[in-house]
Structure formats: C-alpha cells, structure tokens
Amino acid sequence: MTLRLRRGAASIAVVFARPAARAFALSWLAYASYYLGRKGFSVTKSALAGELGLSTASLAWIDTAFLAAYALGQVPWGLAADRIGARKLVGFGMLAAAAACAGFGASSSATALLVCFACNGLAQATGWPGTTKVMADFTTAEKRGRIMGLWSTCYQVGGMAATALATWLLSHYGFRSAFFVPAVWVALVGLLVLGFLPDANDSRPQLTAAQTVDASPSVLARLREVHPAVYSYGACYFCIKLIRYSLLFWLPFYLHNSAGFDQARSGYLSIAFEAGGVIGSIGLGYLSDRSARGRSALSMLSLLLLAATLFVYARAGAGGAFFHCSAMAVVGVLLFGPDAVLSGAAAQDAGGVRAAATAAGIVNAIGSLGALCQGALTLGVEQRFGWNALFYAFFALAVLAALCLLPTVLPARRAPVAH
C-alpha cells in the first residue's frame, strides 16, 4: 500500500513538473475556486433577509452591484493580463476577492454588503481573462478546442461545488460561515497561483521578445490586434449569458412555484442543467477542433438546436421529474457548449498570442451585460405573461444568438486560428 502511494505521488510530481500540466491544473482550480467566493450570496439570500432585515430590493441591488462591477472589470483586467502576465493578475485578484468575501461575511448593513460585493465583483473579474490567458499560452491551435472544452468544466464544477458547500455551511454554522470559509480557500489558492503557476515564457520559448508578455504596446494598439469577429462573439455571448444566468438564478424557483416540486427536489433537479453543461463543453470543444467549418458554425448549430429544445419545452407545459430533468440536461448540453467555445477557444483565436486575454475580456464583458439583465427579463416576463412565456423569450434569444454568429461563419469574416 505504501509503495503504491509513493508511486502515485511520484507520478503526480512528474506531471506537475511539466509547465503545461501545471498551468492547466492550477488555472482550472483557480477559476473553479472563484465560484466559492461568489455563490454564497445566492444561497444565503433568505437568511440575510430574515436575520439582517434586508428587503428584496436591497438584495437585488447587491446582486446588481456585483454583476456591474464584474462586467466593468473584464476589459481592463484583460489588457492587464496581456501586459503583466496572468500569474500576478490571477494571484492578487484571488487575494482581493478573498478579502472582499470575508468583508461581506463580517458586514451587517445593506450598504456595507453592497460595497463588499461590488469589490468582490471587480476582483472576480480578474478570473476569466487571466485564466484564459494562461491556457492560451499553454495550448496549440490544433488542440485548443478540446483542451479548452475540458478546461471550461471549471465553472460548471465550481458552481455546483460552491452551491453545495454554501448550503452545507449555512445549515450547520450560519450564513456568515458561507463567506468566511470560502474566503480562506480562495486566498490559499491565490497564494498557490502566485507561487507555482508557470510563466508564459516557459510555454513558448520560440517566441521573440516582442511577442511575450514583456511587450508594452498601448491600449489602442492591443485592441487593434484583436480580430473583429470578437464583437460578434460578444453579441452572441450576451444572449447566451442572459439565458444561462436566468436559469442559474431562477430555475429552482420556477420548478418549485410553477412545476410544483418541493424545495429540496427543485434544487436537485436544477443540477441537471449544469451537469449537462459539462458534457456540452467537452463535446463541442472536441468537435470544434475537427470541423472544417470552424467553431462559429458548430456553435451556431448548437444554438439553433437549443432554440428548438426551448420551444418544445415551453409548449409541453407540465411534466414529471424525469421530463424536467431530461429537458434541462439537454438545454445545458446545447447552451454550455457554445458558451465554453466562444468565451474560450474562439476568443483565444481572435486575440492571438499577444491579445488572448484582451479578447476573452471583451467577449466576457459584453456577455456579462446580458447577465446583468437577467433579473429584469425573468421577473418582467414572468409577472406579465407567466413562466411559459419566459421560455419563449429564451427561444427568441437563442435564435438571435445564432444570428449574431452568422458574419463569422463566412470565410472572409472568420477569425484565423492563432498559433
């Protein structure tokens, strides 16, 4: 037994001695860990309202402050990652997010909670451009789709783990623990990133000095390096994130209040959405490397199939647990596939070696504006027309998302695959 453990430890050590493997593992762990610092609020909303006397409006404003700060931070942090490198940006970003998360747990007034969560959103915004920059430095164009598809499971697994942890901490130790414990973990991972995340120069020794992160072009010059297709990706991602965040924030509520399941069963059934997403991210990422038509064409097809699924789901109306679970799993597969491809591999293609983080930041910034609109869309449509109408709205958004990609499917407008 001892010999087996030693051999296993030796194998792990050999793998982590390779910069590419270490970059994959640490950036995956980092982005999954960011979710521990952000999901606690959605889990503890009822407790915050009951114990601190916060109104529904106050809770909504806290949500909005986080999402607005997160959206605003994407492009500046993307530019920073391409300029100073991902290791510093992600490492210090995680330490800042940990401090803001702990501050939220220690606060009691609506104003203090809003400020802490806004600071958390700004710090959390370092995550996506920073970690996708890491992966751009350590992947080749030929395998980028499948590697990024596998790597993109970080935000599905991280989201599920964060929800489970926050729920357990809330039920056993109170709402403040759902922020203090994740803050410690996020800080530890941030230190791990600062100490062990390999430098970009370890991955591409063949690059000239002008191509590495030491180069310091102006902001406008960096933005000009990004292929125009990135703005089509961003417009599409706006629609994708609007659907995704609406489902993430409101699916359990819908299953309980409209479909008639109890609260516990509604929560468990909603996990099928993100579980399907794991399959979609890996599958579409793999296919995007092998398709002659490119990542946009496959994403467009997936979105059209998503639109058809949402339309059928809205028309079907009532159903049992198996029906809702299966439908949401299929929706997850078809939504998270293009979500991962466009915000990851396609954005890296559009940015190239020198501007991958900037491109990822642009796509995620535009997409995050969609996430910011989820409350207005969900509550506005549901209150005026009912839950079924909301799924028709999702159908229309999926069609619009597919149309946004149409210019990038044309050979003349397609982003080149950056090596």
Go through the domains of the chain in sequence order and give each one's CATH number. 22-141+155-198 (1.20.1250.20), 225-419 (1.20.1250.20)
In this predicted structure, what is the pLDDT of residue 211? 45
- Top pLDDT among 94 and 161 is at 94
- Top pLDDT among 202 and 411 is at 411
* Cα–Cα distance, 69 to 118 (Å, whole number): 6
In this predicted structure, what is the pLDDT of residue 94? 97
Determine the distance from the C-alpha atom of residue 31 to the mean position of all C-alpha atoms in its chain, rounded to a whole number. 8
Structure tokens at 125: 């915004």
Phi, psi of 398 (to 5 degrees): -65, -40
Residue 413, pLDDT > 80, answer no
* Cα–Cα distance, 46 to 50 (Å, whole number): 6
In this predicted structure, what is the pLDDT of residue 5? 45
- Top pLDDT among 6 and 328 is at 328
Structure tokens at 355: 């501007």
- In angstroms and rounded to an integer, the radius of gyration of the C-alpha atoms of the chain is 21
Structure tokens at 253: 């509520």
What mean pLDDT is predicted for residues 339-345? 88
Label residue 91 by pLDDT band (50, 70, 90).
Answer: very high
In this predicted structure, what is the pLDDT of residue 241? 94
260: region left, alpha or beta (phi > 0 left; psi from -120 to 50 alpha) = left
pTM: predicted TM-score of the whole model, two decimal places: 0.80
**Per-residue pLDDT reduced to its tens digit, 216-231:** 555 666 666 778 888 9
% of the chain at pLDDT higher than 90: 39
Half-sphere exposure for 182 (CA within 13 Å, toward CB) = 38
**Per-residue pLDDT reduced to its tens digit, 94-133:** 999 999 999 999 999 999 999 999 999 999 999 988 998 8
The alpha carbon dihedral of 299, 304, 305, 306 has a sign of positive
Residue 84, pLDDT > 50, answer yes
In this predicted structure, what is the pLDDT of residue 206? 42
In this predicted structure, what is the pLDDT of residue 263? 63
Label residue 419 by pLDDT band (50, 70, 90).
Answer: very low
The number of beta carbons lying within 10 Å of the beta carbon of residue 354 is 22
In this predicted structure, what is the pLDDT of residue 143? 81
In Å, how far are 51, 80, 185, 188, 197 from 191, measured between CA atoms?
Answer: 34, 19, 10, 5, 10
171-203 CB burial, b ≥16 within 10 A, e <16: eeeebbbbbbbbbebbbebbebbeeebbebeeb
**Coil vs helix vs strand at 53:** coil
**Least confident range of 214-228, 231-245, 323-337:** 214-228
Label residue 212 by pLDDT band (50, 70, 90).
Answer: very low
In this predicted structure, what is the pLDDT of residue 149? 86
Label residue 299 by pLDDT band (50, 70, 90).
Answer: very high
What mean pLDDT is predicted for residues 372-397? 88
Of 311, 321, 334, residue with least CA distance to 389 = 311
* Cα–Cα distance, 359 to 223 (Å, whole number): 8
**Per-residue pLDDT reduced to its tens digit, 43-79:** 788 788 889 998 878 888 888 899 899 989 988 898 8
Residue 10, pLDDT > 70, answer no
In this predicted structure, what is the pLDDT of residue 216? 53
* Cα–Cα distance, 153 to 58 (Å, whole number): 32
Label residue 200 by pLDDT band (50, 70, 90).
Answer: low
- Average pLDDT of the chain is 84
* Cα–Cα distance, 57 to 65 (Å, whole number): 12
